[in-house]
Amino acid sequence: MSGTAAMAPPGLPERLRDRYDRLLASAGFRQFAARFPLTRPLARRRVRALFDLCAGFVYTQTLLACVRLRVFEILRDGPQEHAALAARLGLSPEAAATLLKAAEALRLVDRRRGGRWGLGALGAALVDNPGVTAMVEHHALVYGDLADPVALLRRDRGGNRLSGYWPYAGAEAPAALPEERVAAYTALMAASQPFVAAEVLAACDFSRHRHLLDLGGGDGSFLRAVAARHPHLRLTLFDLPAVAARARDAFATAGLADRAEAFGGDFTHGPLPLGADIVSLVRIIHDHDDARALAILRAARRALPPGGTLLLAEPMSGTPGAEPITEAYFGFYLLAMGTGRPRRPEELAELLRGAGFTAPRLLSTRTPLLARVMVARAA
Ligand SMILES: C[S@@+](CC[C@H](N)C(=O)[O-])C[C@H]1O[C@@H](n2cnc3c(N)ncnc32)[C@H](O)[C@@H]1O
């Protein structure tokens, strides 16, 4: 960073903090802290936290093995004897023991009486949860790009496996993308959409609106969830043509064709459908760099009458308690994807004001690490 000469000298809290950091960095102090009874619990917690950081990949791969071998589906019907379970997994009893003991330590499975295995607290949450299992599989791709994190940080953005998976990221003409390039990501988004829709529906009162336009609405999973809760609402979806075609089919299959329409185009360029009094952008803005994000928000503003509502839902940077997810996970994910970044609520509010919206404010959400919700009014 340049300009350090002009910086004010550090105050007392900062000098104390520097001293503390130097103390922690000294091997002698760490040995003392591990021996001294009053500091020992803290030292142990720190060692454990560091070991967890080193071992995180192994934990992830334990989960991937369980998902691929369908451990949670097999255990859904009840606890299984070790030998019978090993046979169903196609593993030797010894290999099954390695996997199941690891999964037990991660609370994915649980040891029951008589040497049987049942679901653990976290494994139970994965049963009938296609959104999470699809994400676990998807991460094989993500971690491929992260295999050399320093190279990833040093390269120009783009050109990774993840940028191929999200082909609209940085594309010159995204509206020309054919069906086969949008199918995989649209299915992944649909699988994970129920969690997000539940958060948005709990946070936002759609009953005072009459017509919702969902920009980048994928296969319409979000709008179908809203439709089920708000039968009076008219629904319009806008996405890339190949994706909008999928949404149109899904609306017809769901018997919604009379009140839900889907249009294809590019939300940074083309005109958007008019008539809505609320526009939603669900997991959209974080995919785009500032210039494109602003273009999307300006298009949304033009699609609304003065006083209309903009609803933006996505994971946001600086979410208290979710920092490893928003800063480390989404930061690196979007870096590998090649465009966009997680933004703080203040940064989103500034973009919204720049696009012609006023009074941006966060609504309270039940699980902010999945998505936070911000609303603003068209000026
Ligand atoms: C991360 S997905 C989110 C999908 C959906 N809103 C959800 O939360 O499940 C981003 C969506 O934006 C769409 N999209 C990307 N670029 C677009 C563009 N230039 N014009 C219209 N839609 C676009 C993609 O096709 C995709 O459906």
Q: Give the bridge partners for 118, in sequence order.
A: 110
Ligand 1 lining (C-beta closer than 6 Å) = 168, 174, 182, 186, 189, 193, 196, 216-218, 222, 239-240, 243, 266-268, 282-284, 287
Q: For the purposes of burial, counting CB atoms within 10 Å of the CB of 168, is it exposed (0-12), middle (13-18) or buried (19 or more)? A: buried
CA nearest ligand 1 atom 24, residue: 216
Q: Name the CATH topology of 134-378.
A: Rossmann fold (3.40.50)
Question: Helix, strand, coil: what percent of the chain each, to 5?
Answer: 55, 15, 30
Q: Give the bridge partners for 235, in sequence order.
A: 212, 260
Residue 231 backbone phi and psi in degrees, to 5 = -65, -15
How close is the Cα of 297 to the center of ligand 1, in Å? 14
CA nearest ligand 1 atom 19, residue: 266
CA nearest ligand 1 atom 11, residue: 216
Which top CATH class is 39-124?
mainly alpha
> And the tokens for 303?
């699609």
Query: What's the rounded Cα separation, in Å, for the pair 49 and 167?
Result: 37
Query: What's the rounded Cα separation, in Å, for the pair 75 and 85?
Result: 9
Chain region(s) in the chain for CATH 1.10.10.10:
39-124
Atom nearest to 243 CA in ligand 1:
25
pLDDT on residue 47? 86
> And the tokens for 151?
């190279």
Buried-state track 233-262, b at ≥16 Cβ within 10 A, e below 16 = bbbbbbbbbbbbbbbbebbeeeebeebbbb
pLDDT on residue 218? 98
Q: Residue 9 to residues 13, 14, 17, 61: CA-CA distances in angstroms?
A: 12, 10, 14, 47
pLDDT on residue 4? 45
CB within 8 Å of 230: residues ≥ 6 apart? 206, 207
Residue to substitute in 162, 201, 283 for testing ligand 1 pocket (most ligand atoms within 8 angstroms of CB): 283
> And the tokens for 71?
């451990």
pLDDT on residue 192? 93
> And the tokens for 98?
């390695």
The strand ranges marked E within the chain are 80-81, 109-112, 116-119, 211-215, 234-239, 260-264, 278-282, 309-314, 357-363, 372-378
pLDDT on residue 96? 98
Amino acid identity of residue 17, one-letter, is R
How close is the Cα of 239 to the center of ligand 1, in Å? 6
Interface confidence (ipTM) of the complex:
0.99
Residue to substitute in 213, 243, 285 for testing ligand 1 pocket (most ligand atoms within 8 angstroms of CB): 243
pLDDT on residue 162? 94
> And the tokens for 78?
């009840």
Q: What residues in the chain have per-residue pLDDT under 70?
A: 1-6
Atom nearest to 266 CA in ligand 1:
20
DSSP for 221-237 reads HHHHHHHHH-TT-EEEE
Q: How many residues in total does the chain contain?
A: 379
Closest CA to 157 of 286, 267, 284, 289: 289
How close is the Cα of 106 to the center of ligand 1, in Å? 34
Query: What's the rounded Cα separation, in Å, for the pair 320 and 205?
Result: 24
Atom nearest to 267 CA in ligand 1:
20
Residue to substitute in 267, 286, 298 for testing ligand 1 pocket (most ligand atoms within 8 angstroms of CB): 267
How close is the Cα of 173 to the center of ligand 1, in Å? 14
